[in-house]
Chains A and B, each alone.
Chain A
Amino acid sequence: MKQMQWYALAGLGILLIIAIAAGLLAGPVSVRDLLSNESLRGPVLMQLRIPRVILGIFVGAALAVAGAAFQGTLRNPLATPYTLGVAGGASLGAYVVIFVQNLILRTRFNVITPSWYHLVFVPLGAFAGGLLTVALVYGLAKNRGKLSSYSLILAGVVINFTFASVILLLNYISDFTQVFVMIRWMMGGLTIVGSSVLYVTVPIVVICLALLLSAHRCFDILAFGEVTAHSMGLDVERFIRWVFIVTSIMVGMCVAVCGPIGFVGLVIPHVLRLAFGGRHGFLLPASMLGGAAFLCLADALARVILPNQILPVGVLTALIGGPILAVLLLRGSGYEVRD
């Protein structure tokens, strides 16, 4: 068992290296052109591909670890930051920013926003929206008495549906170009130019990952159920709140930069748990490696799958993740979902 987990970690590490290589080589500019044309090599690698691969590594790792953390604390494979409303809230936050710029600032007050408006305020709006939503879901669930995974997921579903309809409403009353910007954002992608975004994202993700990984035993303890976990020395309610805060900051950051990239957080930890066992001292680092590799590979694939076009990676992860999830659901969840 233990040995197999080490092999699994090593395997995932190798997969990540392959994914990085693929991420650096795949794209509209072919490998041959990159090697022969020196004036192309610098800008394409330094400005586009290297930042993109780095972003993919950290966002993939963050999403998968966040998924593992939520699934672990709430003992439910469906509990991920996305199902609990982070993505919905972040999307709404981003929408509101775009909407305000277009309909209020531009149309009403004739303010011409600077070109960096979207670059700065869309992520900020998304980040704030994500965090506020999690706080709202937490508050709603708490209101029903003792915090349970059931009430959290229920509250998350309610919030997600509500926000989705608000987004539809905003879509309806916005003009054509704005709707395009919004929908494009909703697809989720790793498109960045230059490395300035990384200076904010990477440190935050690294700190949050370290915090979550260091708490691996607390996640294990929770597998015994809340009462027993408490009797074993874990302040369950405080721990769940802490997990909520740390993961929401981390995922909020990722969604703010990349838009909602789905299914990484749901599928990666779930597959690893079913295949190699549930101890979080293994599961969290494995999810980190697996998520990073998966997102890099998916992004590399997204750059070559359509001729002369780059598909948003969020579309691809959902296309791959959906069927995987369906198979998993049919084969059993690996949890006894019980309170």
Chain B
Amino acid sequence: MEMHNPKSMIIEVENLSFSYIKSGPLVIDGLSAVFGPGRLNIIIGPNGSGKSTLARIAIGYLRNYNGTVKLNGDDIRHLTVLETARRVAFVPQENPISAPLTVREAVELGRFCQLAGGVYPSKEDKDVVEWAIELTGVRELIEKRVDNISGGEKQRVMIARVLAQGAGNLVLDEPTANLDLKYQPLIFDLLRRLVEKEGYNVTAITHDVNLASRYADMVFLLKAGKIFARGLPGEVVNLGILESAYETKLKIVGGSFFIPLGAGIEGGGS
């Protein structure tokens, strides 16, 4: 349906610095990274390392940063809110929807930036919505209200919404944070499929280093607003790097599972 050219779907960040307060502490500190093109990028890192802030800058929400952010090659500063929305879509960590919308309505609203002031959705708009509903497997939910479905269902609905948006870059902030064991791989399987079959460039933040090592094309490990390590999953998600990034002792279980032991690496405790 909405095939994107995976080669041109890319988010580039150059020498990025950001602080929430004027001349306050830098949350992002001279960060440069290239997310994509056409990959499943996974960002991991300790709490407060600037992951969510980076996501909010990359979708054009936070504006007063230093440095450059490019979406598909164009500086985000030169794009309007609508143009930005056509290039990058976002799934936030929590999805409090403050109106009793139905699932179908929520997905249809994803089309907003493509309607561009038009009154009625076109045939194409409707087709894209159907395609997104089909691909995410939420067909049986469409008449339910979004406040009456489970967390895992809601997350799939939110992914359907961003697919309807028609942007080639997807940014997801902890898409599996509140989901149970069954749904976590389900969501990441879906993201993998979007990258491989539909040409999306997906960037997801997660706390789960095991999911990152299993699903990512590229892993970015953030610490204190900088890239601490980047590379293929095997290069980044390993004992030495993780222990020094998270400042805690870890143990490998069953070959590749990382279990925190609960004590700081310098004996500082948790």
Contact residues of A with B, CB < 8 Å? 1, 72, 75, 217, 220-221, 223-225, 227-228, 230-235, 273, 277-279, 334-338
Contacts and interface: CB of A to CB of B under 8 A. Distances in A.
A279 B91 CA distance: 21
Contact of A220 (B82, B90, B109): B109
Nearest to B56: A227
B96 A336 contact: yes
B112 interface: yes
A232 B110 contact: yes
Contacts of B96: 225, 336, 338
Contacts of B101: 220, 223, 277-279
Nearest to B110: A232
Contact of B97 (A223, A233, A235): A223
Contacts of B61: 227, 230-231
Contact of B105 (A234, A279, A335): A279
A278 B92 CA distance: 21
B143 interface: yes
Interface in B61-101: 61, 80-82, 84-86, 88-92, 95-101
Q: Nearest 5 A-B pairs (CB), nearest first?
A: A233-B113, A278-B99, A233-B85, A231-B90, A223-B99
Contacts of A223: 97-99, 101
Chain A, interface SS category: loop
23 contacts: A1-B102, A1-B143, A217-B115, A220-B99, A225-B98, A227-B61, A227-B90, A228-B91, A228-B95, A230-B61, A231-B61, A232-B85, A233-B81, A233-B84, A233-B112, A234-B81, A234-B112, A273-B99, A336-B97, A336-B98, A337-B98, A338-B96, A338-B98
A221 B95 contact: no
Nearest to A74: B98
A217 B108 CA distance: 10
B264 interface: no
A233 B92 contact: no
Given A231-B90, A234-B112, A334-B100, 14 more contacts: A217-B109, A220-B105, A228-B90, A228-B91, A228-B95, A230-B81, A232-B110, A233-B81, A233-B165, A273-B99, A277-B100, A278-B100, A279-B101, A279-B105
B13 interface: no
B108 to A, nearest CB: 9
Contacts of A224: 95, 97, 109
A336 B90 CA distance: 20
Nearest to B91: A228
B59 interface: yes
A161 B142 CA distance: 46
Nearest to A75: B98
A172 B147 CA distance: 51
Nearest to A274: B100
Contacts of B89: 231-232
B90 to A, nearest CB: 4
Nearest to B105: A279
B60 interface: yes
A235 B81 contact: yes
Most buried by B among A220, A233, A334, A337: A233
A225 B113 CA distance: 16
Nearest to A339: B96
B112 A230 contact: no
A210 to B, nearest CB: 13
Nearest to B146: A223
